[in-house]
Amino acid sequence: MSMPMAASTTIVTGEEEKKVSVSRHSFRQPTICYEGEVLDRLLTAIKREIATARKSDISLPEKFWLKQQFSVGVNEVTRVLERMPPIPANERSSLSLKMHSTRLQVILIASDCHPRLLTKHVECLASSKKVPVVFVKDKKRGSLRLGELVKLKTAIAIGVKDKGNKFNQFISTEILHNFE
């Protein structure tokens, strides 16, 4: 029995610490790992977009608003993924999917999670539901960096809920274009 071949491509934009890695496995979707200055720019841009989206919708307290926009934590991300119906491969557009169930647009996972088994099932489940997975690698601070996005100390996994709003459009242009 032969093992699936794994090919890895690293996209370097300028200097060595500005790195985005894309790896493709024959049995999984491509995954992206942001690190270094590229990660810093991405997280700063995401924080800016969250603040902008929050200013345009101040009807709810911030904690509830964040809960509507994100699934936070491995358990909650897993729960949402399990409840998501699978989508056909030709329907990837978030605007064409008007379903009643909550869908995740992308999942951010801290790569510094130990043991790795805590998040391994999320990758497999996301692949089966055609949800892209992005790894955040910042030495031993990935979970701290993700926690900052949702006003928590740490977060191992964050799922961005697909609401079809401007924040989701930003995620499509800044993150999801690397998957195509």
pLDDT at position 113? 84
- Considering only CA atoms, which of 4, 38, 2 is closest in space to residue 24? 4
77 touches 157 (CB < 8 A): yes
pLDDT tens digits, one per residue of 67-115: 999 999 999 999 999 999 866 655 555 444 455 578 999 999 999 888 8
- Which residue ranges make up each domain of the chain? 19-179
pLDDT beneath 70, residues of the chain: 1-30, 86-100, 178-180
Q: List the structure tokens of 59.
A: 């009807």
Q: What is the largest CA-CA distance in the chain?
A: 57
Distance CA(177)–CA(167), nearest Å, equals 15
pLDDT at position 170? 92
Tell me the angle at which helices 117-128 and 74-83 cross, rounded to the nearest 10 degrees. Answer: 20
Q: List the structure tokens of 40.
A: 């810093």
pLDDT at position 10? 38
Measured at the CA of 151, the angle between CA 148 and CA 156, to 5 degrees, comes to 60
Q: Which residues contact 178 (CB under 8 A, 6 or more apart)?
A: 11, 20, 22, 32
Q: List the structure tokens of 106.
A: 């992308």
- Considering only CA atoms, which of 45, 36, 47, 38 is closest in space to residue 141? 36
pLDDT at position 5? 35
Distance CA(71)–CA(59), nearest Å, equals 20
Distance CA(38)–CA(108), nearest Å, equals 15
Query: Tell me, which fold does domain 19-179 have in CATH?
Result: 60s Ribosomal Protein L30; Chain: A; (3.30.1330)
Hey, what amino acid is at 97? Answer: L
Q: List the structure tokens of 168.
A: 């989701």
Q: What does pTM read for this prediction?
A: 0.78
